Chain A
Amino acid sequence: EKTRTSFSTKINDLVAKYRTVDEDFFEELEEILISADVGVNTVMEMIDELEMEVKRRNIKDTSQVKEVISEKLVEIYYGNDEAEEVEGLNENPDGPTVYLFVGVNGVGKTTTIGKLAHRLKSEGKKVTLAAGDTFRAGAIEQLDAWGERAGVNVIKHSAGSDPAAVIYDGIQSAKSRNADVLICDTAGRLQNKVNLMNELSKVKRVIEREIPNAPHEVLLVLDATTGQNAMSQAKTFSEATDVSGIVLTKLDGTAKGGIVLAIRKELSIPVKLVGLGEKVTDLEPFDAHAFVYGLFAD
């Protein structure tokens, strides 16, 4: 609701300032989108398309252009897909469902796992977490604390042990306890570290081997504060683990996370969840309309 109103306000301000749809108008629009981290290339393409659309429909008055702008943005997100539904998380009807979390350092993987565990548990599901980050100081204790908060089981080994072995144990435990969902945490890693990316592929292979069609989601966590590097993250993590969805975290700050538009456009990876804070309940499904409106909010 709030984002919706501020979207129209922002667009209205823009519209009020310029009577005609001219170069200045498009320049201002370009600045708004670039400052939301949408990325230069995507913005340029978008402005070009908008200019064409404005010509085609013979729009001269800026007030008419308002609709076209938000249409265009949502279209960039959904591409030619007609369906504008929020894409939910894939499930395994034969249980257990396995979700693998990946991403660079500090983006919010462990926290999101805690939140998701809480949500699934409150939906009546039996959830197990696997502490696959055996590297970072305090990572196991952190996931353990989240497990306690959510009231779910955590499988862990000691610090420094092999992450693939922890995940393997997690799978066995989930199977034997008849858990509905296993969520695997992994250590943060920068995408240009080849060894660490290989380690992640290995973890994924272990999951594939133990449960057919698993993992049912590979979720790449992206920090909304991140700029253009998020595209490189999406590309490289996809190569290593075939990412199926994005979790966009820290949208409660002032950063807009506009780069996910470019990622959706170029790599067709949808955003599935958004993080809106540090509390256990601060996780929501992604809504492209609200997101687009948010790009224009102050």
Chain B
Amino acid sequence: MAFEGLSDRLQETIKKIKGKGKVDEQDVKEMTREVRLALLEADVNFKVVKDFVKRVRERAVGQEVMESLTPGQQVIKVVKEELTDLMGGDESKIAVAKRPPTVIMMVGLQGAGKTTTTGKLANVLRKNHNRKPLLAAADVYRPAAIQQLETIGKQLTMPVHSEGTEADPVDIAKNAIEKAKEDNHDYVIVDTAGRLHVDGELMGELQRIKEAVNPDEIFLVVDAMTGQDAVNVAQSFDDQLDITGVLLTKLDGDTRGGAALSIKAVTGKPIKYAGMGEKLDQLEPFHPERMASRILGMGDMLTLIEKA
């Protein structure tokens, strides 16, 4: 039951109301109850689910059934439209500064995947956009964080600017940009230490880095397995830093990834890329439609509509 998708959940309900002429309130109630459960099981935040279900209900009740669709199909169609709407369009673009280097700051909770994604993003910029990135090691706290980024730099044969663990992360970021200018790097990606959104001191450090280097992008890196707390984390990082986008990691797992929907709903910021593995070439543009189907556990939404 735990991993049952919405399609399985809905089959029964759909059978019951098949062939009706009009979608009545009771039908919609039954179906949206299943939608609610599927979304909650996928870790979509309960408040987001609540609003979502309400909107679907309002839209679906009393609708004349279209000739080509059964009432069940019609509700699913509304669900899908609303969900796709929420997830937004294709957004895998990355800013380009008028005067190089373009500066990207990577931020997020501990262990989300910032350092790995720093390497992956640099790889994408070089490979697909012909850019010449410099990586900056501004995590001076986590044991061996600098060595980790340096190793990644070596694997990519890409330079890393580091100043050891005694330096101030703000200075490291500033100096990295100076170095980028000298060496003709057109991108600087600043890896920062993982921190809790409620850690005032460390969040202050990020604000100081932001002020000092005026980044073109601030990417919040989020683990796709995150549960209900995703909204608090995203909202809080966004309030304090005004992030420009989200990078979702570990989507190669079997998580439904409802956090993606929650984050999009509360911040409105686009999800740009998805991490699909530990290797440095495993970063892909984010596909909102696919994500919508994945969250609902509907591998193939259209088949369901046809079957119904």
Point out residues on A near B: beta carbons under 8 Å. Answer: 31, 34-37, 39-41, 104-108, 114, 135-139, 141-142, 144-146, 149, 159, 190-192, 223, 225-232, 250, 252-256, 259, 278
Contacts and interface: CB of A to CB of B under 8 A. Distances in A.
A256 B228 CA distance: 9
Interface of B: 1-3, 37, 40-43, 45-46, 109-113, 115-116, 141-145, 147-152, 155, 196-198, 223, 225-230, 232-233, 250, 252-256, 258-259, 278
B49 to A, nearest CB: 9
Contacts, number: 143
Contacts of B115: 137
A255 B227 contact: yes
A146 B227 contact: no
B229 A255 contact: yes
A190 B155 contact: no
A145 B144 CA distance: 7
B254 A105 contact: no
Chain A at the B interface: mostly helix, strand, loop or mixed?
Answer: loop
8 contacts: A104-B250, A105-B278, A138-B148, A142-B142, A142-B144, A142-B148, A226-B223, A250-B109
Contacts of A159: 151
Contacts of B225: 104, 223, 226-227, 229-230
B190 to A, nearest CB: 18
Chain B at the A interface: mostly helix, strand, loop or mixed?
Answer: loop
B71 to A, nearest CB: 25
Given A41-B2, A225-B223, A253-B198, A138 B151 contact: yes
Given A231-B2, A255-B228, 16 more contacts: A36-B228, A37-B227, A40-B41, A41-B1, A136-B278, A159-B151, A190-B254, A191-B253, A225-B109, A226-B225, A226-B226, A227-B228, A228-B42, A229-B254, A254-B232, A278-B110
A137 B279 CA distance: 10
A137 B155 contact: yes
Given A105-B111, A137-B155, A144 B144 contact: yes
A226 B258 CA distance: 11
A141 B145 CA distance: 9
Task: Give the 4 A-B residue pairs with the shortest CB-CB distance, closest first.
Answer: A227-B227, A138-B148, A106-B111, A227-B43
A139 B144 CA distance: 8
A226 B40 CA distance: 14
Contacts of B253: 104, 190-192, 229
Contact of A34 (B46, B111, B259): B46
